[in-house]
Chain A
């Protein structure tokens, strides 16, 4: 079974703090993704990575950065947390078949509250 784990289920931080969210997958997947999910706005892609040390901006990268130093680990960093970053953060990973990426599998999510 594919397993995607995230470092915390719930997190409370203060405005201005630096926040690290970690994601680990155990399926040797090449591709990893960070989304946020908000009521009424659905899933929105923040960043993704197709290989170690590679990163690509998604639709809403502002205020976030990422790091992928190892294939199994993809970190999301909030440089200076703000209240509008209160959200559910979801990590996903997928393999690759030829020119195509495969099914995306999601982690359990981290519900972040910024006070």
Chain B
């Protein structure tokens, strides 16, 4: 069952901020929000994750609402190389848990327009 909902596709102009939303209304208290992306024919690339506080790294920022039912991934200055499918997942990974696996939904196909 999909635990997250994302728009199917989005466009963003090069140089602008890309804001990718994700709904996860059934998230549990110990589940993290993770974002990955996958450029065509390449392996998924980890972007960022968070529990309840906003997070920022060299790639992106993650804004999580106070009720944790939704989040937004922000790519501050999108480039053509950011064109990819972006996956939002929720995950709690207990050691030796057979459910410790990554399951992607359909994700959001982000097109960066020149």
Contacts and interface: CB of A to CB of B under 8 A. Distances in A.
Interface stretch (B6-14, B42-50, B71-79): B42-50
Interface string A59-72: 10000000000000
Contacts of B49: 103
Nearest to A110: B43
B46 A106 contact: yes
Interface centre among B46, B96, B102 (most CB of A within 10 A): B102
Contacts, number: 58
A8 interface: no
A58 B101 contact: yes
A106 B43 contact: yes
A74 interface: no
Contact of A107 (B34, B41, B43, B98): B43
B41 A99 contact: no
Interface residues of B, number: 21
Interface stretch (A14-22, A40-48, A75-83): A40-48
B58 to A, nearest CB: 11
Contacts of B98: 56, 58
Contacts of B101: 33, 35, 43, 45, 48, 58-59
B41 A111 contact: yes
Contacts of A4: 43
Nearest to B30: A100
B87 to A, nearest CB: 9
Nearest to B49: A103
Nearest to A91: B43
Contacts of A35: 101-102
Interface of B: 34, 36, 41-46, 49, 92-96, 98, 100-105
Interface of A: 4, 31, 33, 35, 42-43, 45, 48, 50, 56, 58-59, 88, 90, 92, 94, 96, 98-109, 111
The 9 closest A-B pairs by CB, nearest first: A106-B43, A45-B101, A101-B93, A109-B43, A106-B44, A108-B43, A107-B43, A99-B95, A42-B104
